[in-house]
Amino acid sequence: MVKINKKVKDFDILLTGNKSAKLSDYLNNYLILYFYPKASTPGCTTESCEFSERFPQFSQLNANILGVSTDSLKRQENFKT
């Protein structure tokens, strides 16, 4: 479990678009991780669209947004579009 104000170990992140990153790649910016249970469901779609609509505001704050789910990368790629 991650505790508030405690550092976490660096880990690899698989991204859509055949990309990957490390948590440490985001050290100089804010990182928003939002978790959703399943792509393409009404609630998850609404949540993701709200982040997308506010993306310009988050960008001004040097914030990156990553959505996390247990779906396959292919399903997440489809959900992203």
Task: Name the residues annotated as catalytic.
Answer: 44
Q: Which residues of 18-56 are buried (b: 16+ CB within 10 A; e: fewer)?
A: eeeeeeeebeeeeeeeeebeebeeeebeeebeeeeeeee
Q: Which amino acid is at 69?
A: S
